[in-house]
Amino acid sequence: MLNVGLTGGIASGKSTVATMFAEHGAHLIDFDGLAHEVQEPEKPAWREVVNQFGEGILQPDKKIDRIKLGNIVFADKEKLIELNNIVHPLVYQEWHARLEKIGKKEKHAIILSDIPLLFEGNMQNLFDLTMLVLIAPKEQIRRLMTRNGVSKEDAEKRLKSQMPISEKISLSDIVIDNEGSFSETEKRVGQVWRELLQQEKQIYSVRLKIGGLDQNINNGGRK
């Protein structure tokens, strides 16, 4: 099994790239999706988030309004930390459960965990490899304004709340430039997929040898 952390700047097209990998056979775990699940009404994180940020963040159906909450936390780093401290432990718990479930079904699985704030959260050590999807900051702002219908000022605030892309590049094992055409990105994803398959074989072989060595030691050196 190969455990890959996938990240990218906001509005970089990371989800599109993740879908391309899924079409090749990768298993995807979406951390944003997990975060939404644990914050559904009456789920573990929901009450804590409402207590911390007030009922003004709720929609009429009692679900958390992601845009209202985002406007609060992206404007104040301390509030973003408060939110993460509530949600992250529960997300990690669910993530580990899904890793275990996939690993039991497919020992050679390649799992991509889509994590927007992978490096900001210093989570890179949880993975065999890290992968970064990037576009130029100006293009991020333009896409974010179009996608979310926010002002340029709000888009810039959200971008500034994340680690600069130059720092993320230095921390990444694999970089995918997503500023070109769709077909260019598809070609790059195909190339990276072949590399991941080779990496998984190598890591599996090493783990198999280590497992055999551990078993030999436990048996007092007897084969």
Average pLDDT of 65-76?
Answer: 89
In the structure, what pLDDT confidence band is assigned to residue 212 with cuts at 50, 70 and 90?
low
Between 162 and 56, the more confident residue is 56
Domain ranges within the chain, ordered by starting residue: 2-196
Report pLDDT for 164.
87
Measure the CA angle with vertex 119, ends 115 and 124; round to 5°: 85
pTM: 0.79
CATH 3.20.20.60 given to domain 2-196: no
User: Which tokens sit at 222?
Assistant: 């007897």
pLDDT tens readout for residues 83-136: 989 998 999 999 999 999 999 999 999 999 999 889 988 999 999 999 999 999
Q: Name every residue whose Cβ is closer than 8 Å to that of residue 185 and which is 6 or more positions away in sequence.
A: 13, 16, 17, 20, 176, 178
Structure tokens at 29: 């775990």
Q: pLDDT exceeding 90 applies to what percent of the chain?
A: 70
Contact 123, 164 (CB under 8 A): no
